[in-house]
Structure 1
Amino acid sequence: MKTKNLLITAIILFLITNTSYYWESWCGIFLIPLTLILIIVFLVLVVKVVFRLFSVLKGGLSRSQEMTHLIVSILLLTICVVKPAGIINFESMEGEDVLVASREGVANCFSTLKLKKDGCFYFKSICFGVEKAAGNYAVKGDTVMFKWPGNRGMYFIYGILDPDSAINGTKNSTHFLLYKTRKDTTPYMLLVVKNKLVNLKSTIPPPRP
């Protein structure tokens, strides 16, 4: 493989890894095999770049263009190692967090809910794949009402802060209880790690009919 082809492959790999924020949620269960493929491509590329580097070094200054290709390739591969999630933190562009709640489940599954200052929320679930959803929320008394885009019946319609609930042994902590329906008796509990919702009370309202 010529150095130019190595450089092109390194650029493609770099772009794929640095834009994962936008495409990872579309992969579903195929995210794990796709990640393995990218790792294999990365390792093969590293080996080929190293071997080609030794070959070019023997050629001297007459092969300076090839050396430039290899240096850029090495730089891109190094960034992929140092910043596997990308050099740009796209999540920071979503806005200021006013509430962040998360939960780690079985098999290292992880869920995170972020309420933003501008009235938007982002829900992310990682479990054999990445699932993302976003919408708008409104605070009504001690309840957060969620508005999902389109028909998202599988998600939660409202949430309530509860300082007394316990999850995974975390006592004396505030949790955010998420309900799918108004008759839901088994809410999904997230541990609150950040809360700036000053208008939201940490109390549970009377049972809803």
Structure 2
Amino acid sequence: MKNKGLIISTIIFFLLVNTTYYWESKLGLVAFPAFLFLVIVFFVLLILLLRQIILAIKEKFSERQRLLIIAILTTVLALAFFKPAGLIDFEKFEGKDILVARREGAANCMTTFKLKENSKFTEKSVCFGMTEIKGDYKLKKDTIFFENVELARGEDEFYKFAVIRPSKFNKDNNHFDLVRYKDLNDTTGHELWITKNDLYKPTDKKPNR
């Protein structure tokens, strides 16, 4: 079959784009070069698509195999352009978000923390790459405790607990922060800005145990 390699490459590209949810966060700093590689492959396939269209015009669209290749390339590239994160939102299968908090750092780096309704949590950090931390949480009174934490590559510890309190920066009683602590001796904590909260009402107190 002519252009067999092109078809196989197109299918592999389609599978990579639609499974990024599972492999992107495991690459760490390599995630950004991997993204650039996919962008390059996209444009290479686009050029090859244009070539196939030109050849099809010269053949007056008489070659069925070429028309099939054009259809496959067009479909895959269109889906990659309009659905760059893939056709399926796999995160939905991990449970409903009941709390979402974010914080933007230097160089547009972004940390997104989520509590799920199934007592799971995730933290994704995007900064010249992507890392993901997962684990379980337990809610005891007004404190969220983290357990069974799966650290990302290059990480050696995670926060032990967190509380919700009114925002330091927006004192209108409508904005709140998720403040995470390394241990009970941590007096500073690390703040994330809550964008969704269906968990519980905020507090200014640290836990007493």
Same fold judged by TM-score > 0.5? yes
Cα shift readout 1:172-206 (whole Å, capped 9, x = no counterpart): 31000011122112211111111111xx3411225
- The equivalent of 2:93 in structure 1 is 93
Q: Give SS of 1:148's match.
A: strand
Gap runs ≥5 in structure 1: none
* Structure 1 partner of 2:134: 134
Task: Please point out which of 159, 182, 186 is paired with 2:162.
Answer: 159
Alpha-carbon distance in 1 for matches of 2:137, 2:196: 17
Q: Does 1:149 align with 2:149?
A: yes
- Describe the SS at the equivalent of 1:34: helix
Match of 1:37 in 2: 37
Q: Who is 1:184 aligned against?
A: 186
Shift of 1:38: 1.5
Are residue 175 (structure 1) and residue 177 (structure 2) matched?
Answer: yes
CA RMSD between the two structures: 2.0
How many residues are matched? 203
CA shift, 1:61, in A, is: 4.8
- State the TM-score, normalized to the length of structure 2: 0.89
Measured in 2, the distance between the counterparts of 1:180 and 1:174 equals 20
Residues 3 and 171 (structure 1), Cα distance of their counterparts in 2 relative to 1, 3 Å cut: farther
1:196 has 2:198 as partner: yes
Q: TM-score, normalised by structure 1?
A: 0.89
**Are 2:47 and 1:53 aligned?**
no
Is 1:102–1:112's contact at 8 Å kept on the other side of the alignment? Answer: yes
Q: Using the alignment, how far apart are the partners of 1:55 and 1:136 within structure 2?
A: 56
1:5 Cα offset (Å): 2.5
Structure 2 residues without counterparts, runs of 5 or longer: none
Tell me what 2:26 maps to: 26
Would you tell me which structure has more helix in proportion to its own residues?
Answer: 1
Quick one: structure 1 residues 190 and 206, their matched pair in 2 at CA, closer, same or farther if it must change by over 3 Å? closer
Q: Within 5 A, what are the aligned runs for 1:58-73?
A: 58-73=58-73
For 1:8, the equivalent position in structure 2 comes to: 8
1:108 matched to which residue of 2? 108
